[in-house]
Chains A and B, each alone.
Chain A
Amino acid sequence: AQKITQTQPGMFVQEKEAVTLDCTYDTSDQSYGLFWYKQPSSGEMIFLIYQGSYDEQNATEGRYSLNFQKARKSANLVISASQLGDSAMYFCAMRGPWNNNDMRFGAGTRLTVKP
């Protein structure tokens, strides 16, 4: 079974600094996808970034990058130049092979950006 672990319940970062949110996963599948979502206090789930297990390059989307280390089964999210609006819950998620619709989520990390 797939399992996602986010070991940081809460993180603080100073505005304009970079922050790394940890995510490790456990799967026996060779083909899978890794996702990060942001959930602000308003509650909606906002897609941030995706990494496929066969992608050789680390994914980047603006200020977000995914540090993918396949051998270590980790998919950490790096947010550069933090902004006050980045304060939110962040969820790591994994989806298995393409015939598997079960997307598993981690427990989340609450990020607080300090001015």
Chain B
Amino acid sequence: NAGVTQTPKFRVLKTGQSMTLLCAQDMNHEYMYWYRQDPGMGLRLIHYSVGEGTTAKGEVPDGYNVSRLKKQNFLLGLESAAPSQTSVYFCASSYTARGGNTIYFGEGSWLTVV
């Protein structure tokens, strides 16, 4: 069972470089999310999408862009990476904003910006 898959799992970037994290889900979920997790902190929402072709800002959107061209994919882009973006990034998806255990997380992507 694939669920939510993130690529790449590990990446080292130089300051100023750009990159894209890919999130793919095979559960036909409408909602998709990108979070970042920093040491000593819980997950913080970067951007989310409530359906194909739509995106919205979360709690910490600056320095990131996202796209949802296909329902199953949610891309997170770093235009010009900064050391402050060193973090673990989690993608998640859900089929509705209602209800309880409907949010499924990927395994995380470790990004280091030097």
A contacts, CB < 8 Å to B? 4, 6, 9, 33, 35, 37, 42-45, 47, 50-52, 91, 93, 95, 98-108
Contact = CB atoms under 8 A, between A and B. Distances in A.
Interface size class of B (residues with CB under 8 A): 20 to 34
Contacts of B19: none
B59 to A, nearest CB: 7
22 contacts: A4-B42, A33-B100, A35-B103, A42-B107, A44-B107, A45-B108, A47-B104, A50-B101, A93-B43, A95-B97, A99-B97, A100-B97, A101-B31, A101-B45, A102-B48, A102-B58, A103-B103, A104-B59, A106-B42, A107-B40, A107-B42, A108-B40
Contacts of A33: 99-100
Interface of B: 31, 33, 40-45, 48, 50, 56, 58-59, 88, 90, 92, 97-101, 103-108
Contact of B105 (A44, A52, A99, A108): A44
